A and B are shown apart, each in its own frame.
Chain A
Amino acid sequence: MDKHRGEVEETQPAEVLREYGPFDGAARVHGVTYDGARVWFAGDEGLQAFDPASGQPVRTLAVACDAGTAFDGRHLYQLAGGVIRKVAPETGQVLKTIPAPGKGDDSGLTWAEGSLWVGEYHARRIHRIDPETGAVLRTLESNRFVTGVTWAQDELWHGTLEDGTSDLRRLDPVDGRVLVRLTMPEGVSITGLESDGGDVLYAGGGTSGKVRAVRRPRRSRR
């Protein structure tokens, strides 16, 4: 366990290792995820994936991205317009369309423990649904917070965008203090941030349509 005792804020320019894109059909980058092999990002016209080694786009799924996407290990589920579409990632083919329980107020979708989960955060409801039929198995109307203990987070990175300038920050997970700031060049924005689990952070570039790989600096040990 690392204690960040006496650690002060370090500011350094971000080392941009590589820029990807812009890609066709993605003038803007909303969010970024990494599935262990490919970088996925939500663009204007759907989900796209590229290979971070070659920089080549490998997949575009023309699914609306106005709400959650879930992955059960084999299929993608995309929530949009009050329905959930089950999509084969290899072909982009829609295999099934099931109704979403939230009637448009759906604000989150994930696959877990054999079911799909749809959150209606405004209504404080979470539905557990059968991924095959869309049948609602259970609805939780939460009025009690059964929380969990906090799991140590080794490093907490966070992209900010204020007044047109962006930086990447490493925060102290306990008290939110800024430990490291990586400043991005003027005019470069950050939308969405994901780590590859190693020394690279992928940052969505907003309206530039780009995704940037940034080196995660090694923590200075004292």
Chain B
Amino acid sequence: MDALVSVAARALREGDPLGALQRVALREDAPALALRGIAMAQLGELTQAAALLKRAARAYGPGDALARARCGVARAEVALAARELEGIDLALDEALLVFTHHGDTENARYTRLLRARHALLLGRIEEAERTLSALEREGLPAMPSTLAWLLTFEVAVRRGTPRVARPALEQARTSARRARIPALFAEVEQAARALDLPAARVLSRGEAQPVVLDEVEALLESEHLVVDACRRVLRAGPRVVTLSTRPILFSLLRVLAEAWPKDSSREELVRQVFGARRMNASHRARLRVEMGRLRAQVHEVAGIQATPQGFVLEPRRAVEVRVLAPPVEGAGGAVLALLADGEHWSTSALALALGASQRTVQRALTTLEATGQARVLGRGRARRWVAPPLSGFTTTLLLPASPLPG
């Protein structure tokens, strides 16, 4: 290890890729190639970064397991930034074994952070949480400390618990200031927007109101009857009725809830839920059947009364009915939420992150493209999707996640 490499390595760690390149840009030996690759990654040149890291790994040869593991993690990280999500956990696990074996605690810890980030991106919130809780926070250097707190914050946001998220955000800010890496600080501030931007809309008595996460949390803890269209559940305080696998029932419930305290006519219900423009006898019969099923599902927290025109929702207790609606309606919402990070996503990465089939994702993308909400770049295997950020809304509640704690 020569002095220039160690100065370059330190510059990278301090978030100064230009200072690092200054020392090694003209060199072709293995450590220099690796550092050039990492610097390119920090400069957002991901394709070039991947190529340099590949060359570095080859230049090290099989004899230097530790250096190759470092190249492997750096490459995984570039793939993560490029949203090429397949096979990342495998690469990280392999590297983790090498780091642990060689006593490279710093990189072992960093690899665990990347695992948590990968899990979070795929909506595996519990896994991210487990990985993070196993991390020692005391005496961490500023950069990994910032990342750890930032991930803790993101987990809390995805869980819908801003009260837990806030202190983590403050810790992330403090560490980021210590790290003095502008890009890292910007990332923390970018993440912080999730708390300030509206995360959903609340519909009540025909009025729609944008609400931030704090208000969502307060609403879910209130006594009101909440029809949560982000997670397709009905909540009444601690009681939760899950209708996520019953889309028809949920649609009926939502129409009733939006009309509350008035009733919804049969025509309206048939039009909105079955998509029929005119009602005939079979619609009428089907509506009766589905309404009976819905009644059975929700009877603990609300009744459904027939009226001369149609049906009306009646909460069991004297509370208001509220609908919590996502910022973007429809099947494309979750896809848009992922695309909203501004990165280029492949169809397969989107499917992986949503836990949906590629076909489903492709359908949603086609619709989004037709309405100008997503753009496609490249062709064939290099096809990538991008979307403009959703202005004025955070996508927190649209992202795939395990159910909010009820």
Contacts and interface: CB of A to CB of B under 8 A. Distances in A.
A194 B4 CA distance: 8
Contact of A126 (B5, B18, B26): B18
Interface in B70-87: 70, 73-74, 77-78, 81
B40 A113 contact: yes
B10 A149 contact: no
B186 A113 contact: no
A108 B18 contact: yes
B74 to A, nearest CB: 5
Contact of A146 (B21, B44, B141, B190): B44
A195 interface: yes
Contact of A142 (B37, B143, B186): B186
B103 A1 contact: yes
Given A117-B43, A173-B6, A195-B3, A151 B186 contact: no
A124 B102 CA distance: 36
Contacts of B182: 121, 124, 142
Contacts of B40: 112-113
A108 B15 contact: no
B38 to A, nearest CB: 3
Please tell me the size bucket of the interface on A: 35 or more
A53 interface: no
Contact of B31 (A70, A109, A124, A151): A151
B270 interface: no
A149 B73 contact: yes
A8 interface: no
A163 to B, nearest CB: 24
Given A1-B104, A3-B103, A149 B110 contact: yes
Contact of A151 (B22, B41, B42, B70): B70
A72 B21 CA distance: 11
B74 A149 contact: yes
Given A110-B21, A144-B186, A174 B106 contact: yes
A200 to B, nearest CB: 10
A197 interface: yes
Interface string A135-159: 0000010111111111111111100
A71 interface: yes
User: Which residue, B3, B6, B77, has most C-beta atoms of chain A within 10 A?
Assistant: B3
Contact of B106 (A73, A150, A197): A150
B25 A113 contact: yes
A161 B234 CA distance: 65
B34 interface: yes
Interface in A96-129: 108-113, 117, 119, 121, 124, 126, 128
A202 to B, nearest CB: 10
Nearest to A108: B18
B3 A194 contact: yes
Interface string B26-67: 100001001111111111111010000000000000000010
B183 A142 contact: yes
Contacts of A147: 12-13, 15, 38, 41-42, 77, 143, 184
A175 interface: yes
Contacts of B77: 146-149
Closest 6 CB pairs of A and B: A148-B38, A195-B3, A154-B1, A153-B6, A143-B186, A142-B183
14 contacts: A3-B103, A110-B19, A128-B43, A140-B43, A140-B44, A145-B181, A146-B42, A146-B44, A148-B35, A148-B42, A151-B12, A152-B9, A153-B1, A174-B141
